[in-house]
């Protein structure tokens, strides 16, 4: 049986290197290429050596097109503008795409949904099994607890993360909104500072902490008078996201065009 051929854009980044290692260590999967933005210092380096693996004889590419043409699925954990360009390229090359990029706008979301009419796209802000189970539990708790319970989402990440709140925090907040039967964007409140006034009943609040090398910690709080429920997930290694990404890529390889999530991959 032929191995599935996976490409990685942003292959020299923290997540890209973890994804390369995960592909190499997964039976039935093979690295077909990796790319970086033009001018990146990693271009020309051997992918295996870049990821701390054996020499693969595959150099980091500055133009991802040929990699897209070779790959069954490309995995993208980059930046919004790059991801939109990769989605357009995936349409041209008829390559399925796994997207773990966060910080995207409503217009970006619409562009990805439009691309998914032509290719299969699996998009998720967090691909760990634990987080996706947590989202299901959050939805159930929000459904069972009325708005006497205030909902707050607290997240912490490493000092290098550029977007807030995290994609995972938004997954949890949106799950809570679904459980409550409310429009998330109408009740979401970002970081508070200064004289903010009293908390509005029914809001879903977000607090973002940044520091150190924290891979990702998320807590969703349900706080009522005299009692509080908290659900927490802590990631200690980015490898869990890479594992989920490769699992998603294997699942997506033979899928028809459409926009999928980890709930589809995991059967939740």
Residues tagged active-site: 157, 161
User: Which one, of 159, 54, 42, 166, lies nearest residue 103 by Cα?
Assistant: 166
Measured between its terminal Cα atoms, the distance across the chain in Å is 29
| Per-residue CA distances from 173 to 6, 137, 226 (Å) | 32, 12, 23
| Token pair of 28 as six digits | 């039935």
Q: Please report which helix (H) or strand (E) contains residue 115, including its range.
A: helix 106-115
Q: Where are the beta strands (DSSP E) in the chain?
A: 4-9, 29-35, 73-76, 96-99, 120-123, 150-157, 188-189, 204-210, 216-224, 227-235, 258-260
Q: What is the CA radius of gyration of the chain?
A: 19
Distance CA 62, CA 59 (A): 10
- What is d(CA 249, CA 33) in angstroms, rounded to the nearest whole number? 15
Beta bridge partners of 30: 5
């Amino acid at each position: 049986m032929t191995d599935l051929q996976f490409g990685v854009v942003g292959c020299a980044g923290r997540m890209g290197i973890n994804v390369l290692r995960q592909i190499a260590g997964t039976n039935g999967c093979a690295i077909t290429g990796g790319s970086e933005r033009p001018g990146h210092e990693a271009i020309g380096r051997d992918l295996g050596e870049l990821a701390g693996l054996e020499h693969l004889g595959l150099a980091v590419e500055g133009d991802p097109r040929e990699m897209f043409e070779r790959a069954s699925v490309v995995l993208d954990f980059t930046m919004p503008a790059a991801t939109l360009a990769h989605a357009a390229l995936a349409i041209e090359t008829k390559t399925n795409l796994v997207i773990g990029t966060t910080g995207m706008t409503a217009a970006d979301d619409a562009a990805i949904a439009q691309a998914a009419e032509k290719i299969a796209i699996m998009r998720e802000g967090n691909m760990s099994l634990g987080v996706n189970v947590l989202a299901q539990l959050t939805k159930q708790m929000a459904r069972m607890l009325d708005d006497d319970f205030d909902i707050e989402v607290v997240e912490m990440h490493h000092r290098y993360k550029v977007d807030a709140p995290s994609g995972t925090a938004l997954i949890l907040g949106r799950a809570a909104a679904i459980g409550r039967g409310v429009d998330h964007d109408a009740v979401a409140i970002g970081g508070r500072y200064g004289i903010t006034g009293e908390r509005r009943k029914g809001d879903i609040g977000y607090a973002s902490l940044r520091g150190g090398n924290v891979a990702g910690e998320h807590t969703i709080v349900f706080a009522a008078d005299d009692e509080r429920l908290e659900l927490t997930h802590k990631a200690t290694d980015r490898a869990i996201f890479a594992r989920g990404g490769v699992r998603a890529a294997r699942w997506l390889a033979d899928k028809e065009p459409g926009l999928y999530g980890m709930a589809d991959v995991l059967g939740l």
